[in-house]
């Protein structure tokens, strides 16, 4: 199932998105009553997908990110592979949906894209063992861990660099039935491929990540966990378009603008 969140003439709603993504004009958004957790109930209303606007597919209480989780990315950044997952947070105010502009802040001159597989949590959970992680996962989506690299270096920690508004594009929807073990993660900037990795290259897999994170903090329904980025990160500039494709999920596209420019 593809779960999404839309703005329609009737308001904002969670939906099941049905049809072939290769034929978007024939896809339908079918309204879910209340929320998508558990067994969704449908209201009976639906819209052609072309007649609504896709929003970020979930409202997260927090965004938990895993750094340095691909060996090739660690090598390009000049670091060493950590024994345990490196965890940091983005504020939920950084989240935007498909086709919403990433805004480059005037305080940074070096902003990078980072294409990632993201996990969506399905229920409150704490101290989850890796082998039972799947019981707590609603599905998977795509995220861009946008990073002000100059601020990351100067601050010595990552909160400001990762936390600007619009620095966490997510979407276009959540897929509930994909196996995350070996999916292609590809990022293009203006149609040119910049990243092309596979989730099988992750140092810490999804189960291990959820065990590590949930040992520290309680995870809530809708929380997002970004699983790290493969090699090939690089700068984005005003006027660029970033598209991240994850095999079995779809493509997340966002334009880039410099704040104060039109």
| pLDDT at residue 73, rounded to an integer | 77
Question: Which DSSP state fits 24?
Answer: G
Residue 207's H or E segment, with its range, is helix 206-214
| pLDDT at residue 262, rounded to an integer | 56
Q: Is the preceding omega at residue 172 within 30 degrees of 0, hence cis?
A: yes
Please state the pTM of the whole predicted model.
0.96
For the sheet containing 234-235, what is the strand order? 147-148, 111-113, 234-235
Q: Are 100 and 169 in contact (CB under 8 A)?
A: yes
As a whole number of angstroms, the distance between CA 10 and CA 4 comes to 16
In which residue ranges of the chain is pLDDT below 70? Answer: 261-262
For the chain, give the number of residues.
Answer: 262
As a whole number of angstroms, the distance between CA 165 and CA 178 comes to 29
């Amino acid at each position: 199932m593809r779960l999404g969140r839309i703005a329609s003439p009737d308001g904002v709603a969670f939906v099941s998105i049905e049809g072939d993504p290769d034929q978007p004009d024939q896809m339908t958004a079918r309204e879910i009553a209340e929320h998508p957790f558990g067994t969704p109930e449908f209201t009976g209303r639906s819209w052609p997908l072309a007649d609504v606007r896709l929003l970020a597919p979930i409202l997260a209480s927090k965004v938990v990110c895993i750094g340095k989780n691909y060996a090739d990315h660690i090598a390009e950044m000049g670091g060493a592979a950590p024994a345990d997952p490196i965890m940091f947070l983005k504020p939920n105010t950084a989240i935007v949906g498909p086709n919403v502009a990433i805004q480059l802040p005037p305080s940074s001159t070096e902003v990078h894209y980072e294409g990632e597989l993201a996990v969506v949590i399905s229920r409150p959970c704490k101290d989850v063992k890796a082998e039972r992680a799947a019981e707590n996962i609603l599905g998977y989506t795509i995220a861009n861990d946008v990073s002000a690299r100059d601020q990351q270096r100067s601050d010595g920690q990552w909160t400001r660099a990762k936390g600007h508004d619009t620095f966490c594009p997510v979407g276009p929807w959540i897929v509930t039935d994909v196996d995350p073990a070996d999916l292609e993660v590809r990022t293009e900037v203006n149609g040119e491929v910049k990243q092309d990795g596979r989730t099988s290259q992750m140092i810490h897999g999804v189960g291990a990540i959820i065990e590590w994170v949930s040992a520290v903090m309680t995870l809530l329904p809708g929380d997002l966990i970004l699983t790290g980025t493969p090699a090939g990160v690089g700068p984005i500039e005003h006027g660029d378009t970033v598209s991240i494709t994850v095999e079995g999920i779809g493509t997340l596209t966002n334009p880039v603008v410099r704040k104060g420019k039109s």
